[in-house]
Amino acid sequence: MNSQKLIKRCLIDNDALETHPWENEYKDFIVMRHKSNNKWFALIFETENELCINLKCYPDLIPVLKDQYPAVKPAWHMNKKHWCTVQVNHIPDETLDELIKISFDITAPKNKKKLH
């Protein structure tokens, strides 16, 4: 898989948006955000010739994923309790899609209940 295919996998909802917030040395980094609240749900980048994605995840699920998949690593430059880095081409597509969806849902805008 390449970064363009990964971006398409991340565009799972009308609220998903591809952004390129940096120039210079980080110009190839892609941040996937929610249009509605501007929160990140994915960071796409390459390191050591590996296509990677940082995804937000449930803290209790990250150690399970790391045990099950060697391609799931501690998050690169992000909070390691809530984020993980996935080497995209070394994990099943279905698992990757599920992790993208989890990250998208965790960072989605919260519905506020009206108080009566």
pLDDT tops 90 at residue 93? yes
pLDDT of residue 22: 85
Is the pTM higher than 0.95? The answer reads no
Report, as an integer, the average pLDDT of 99-112.
Answer: 90
CB 33 within 8 A of CB 17: yes
pLDDT of residue 114: 46
Tell me the domain boundaries of the chain: 3-47+59-107
CATH topology of domain 3-47+59-107: Aspartate Aminotransferase, domain 1 (3.90.1150)
17-26, 83-92, 102-111: least confident range: 17-26
